[in-house]
Structures are given as structure tokens and as C-alpha cells.
Amino acid sequence: MARLFISPSILSADFARLGEEVSAIDAAGADWIHIDVMDGHFVPNITIGPAVVKALRPHSAKPFDVHLMVSPVDPFLDAFAEAGADIITVHPEAGPHLHRTIQRIKALGKKAGVSLNPATPAKMLDYVIDEIDLVLVMSVNPGFGGQKFIPSQLKKVEAIANMASKRGLAIDIEVDGGVDAGNAASLVSAGATALVAGTAAFRGGPQCYADNIKALRGGE
């Protein structure tokens, strides 16, 4: 069985102590650090920019999994790459030329991901899935943490896993939104290889982070 990557979302961390929170979730067993970037335009919320990503970089050697909920997205790719992103994930709706955007991310030496909103079909990946490293399935409507998981997205995870398998592609399938210990196993069974967890990872404070991550892995 492939390793399951846990990518805690710092959207649920204590923003007054963000550097310490990143260090703590890293020490607790996180595989990646998920960073949600929102612009108040593509999604109805504003979070952080490249300067904060750069400031957090010294607090963890783990891959920075940066999800850009930004439109237009192309003008910001270089800045986030320079700030320390390792994976840069964009939405098909965030620019007119998704393939060109993916090419730019790869040219910057970063892994490229494509994120699909709940109403965005897996078919959107048909002509780019061979070019990317990761698909991020949004199992809530993006913009806010703490939302309930949308069950229909399980079928989308399965569809993407089948698409990748038929083409012989070893890409990561990540799920973000309402992920917790109660649905993690079903997501992995559907084909997910990476789970983003905000509330479920950061609940209870630093003394609980290791147990929270262990629960997401199925208690292993």
C-alpha cells in the first residue's frame, strides 16, 4: 500500500503563533504543510501572501503544499515559488490557459497540482493529467475552514484514480475539506493518497497534534 501523506492546513492554526504552530505540527508527524492562499476574489475570504510563506519557511523542512485560490493566478506563481513553495496547486477557473500555468510551475522547479471545486468535473483533467503531479479534490466549497464534507466527492476521487490508473500515472490524489478520522479510510479506499486536515489536525492544541495525525492515518 502506498504511503498516505497527511497535510495539515494552517488555516486552522493559531495565526498569532504561526511559526510555532508549523514547527509543532511538523514535529507531530505531518508529511506536508498545507498553505491555503485566498484572495477575497476567487473565494470569499482573504488569508496570506508570499511574505508569510517566506517567513514560515525556516520553521519546517517538510514540503510546503501551497493551494492558490487566487484569480488571476499566473502573476503570483513566481512569488510563491521564490517564497518556498514545493507544490503549487491552481484551479482551472483561475486563468485562461491552464496548460500554460502548469508549464510555468514546472519551469520554476516545483510540483504542479490542479484543484477541482465540488462542481468541477474530473473530465477537466483530460488534457493535463499527464503533465501534473497532484490533483486536489475539494470536498467543500473553498473559502473557509470547518465546513462539512460533501459525500459526492468520493465518486470524483474514484474517477480520478481510475483515470490515472488507466494511463499508468503515479500522481497524488489529495482531498481537502471536512476530512477527519471518520471519513479518512473511505477516502483512501476511493484512491486518495494525501489528506488535508485543518480542524481535525489542529484540534486541542499542540499536545494533541500527534494523536490527531495518528487518528487520520487510521490509528497506525
Separation between Cα atoms, residue 153 and residue 150, nearest integer Å? 6
Residue 176 annotated as catalytic: yes
Choose among 101, 98, 77, 178: nearest CA to 137: 178
Computed on alpha carbons and rounded to an integer, the radius of gyration of the chain in Å comes to 16
Considering 31, 36, 39, 133, which one is annotated as catalytic?
A: 36
Query: Three cell numbers at 22?
Result: 508549523
**DSSP code at position 10:** G
Considering 31, 39, 133, 176, which one is annotated as catalytic?
A: 176
Please state the φ and ψ torsions of residue 162, each to the nearest 5 degrees: -65, -40
Strands (E), 117-185: 134-138, 172-176
DSSP string, 45-110: -B---HHHHHHHGGG--SPEEEEEE-SS-GGGHHHHHHHT-SEEEE-GGGSS-HHHHHHHHHHTT-
Burial of 188 (0-12, 13-18, 19+ CB in 10 A): buried
**Catalytic residue numbers, as ranges:** 36, 176
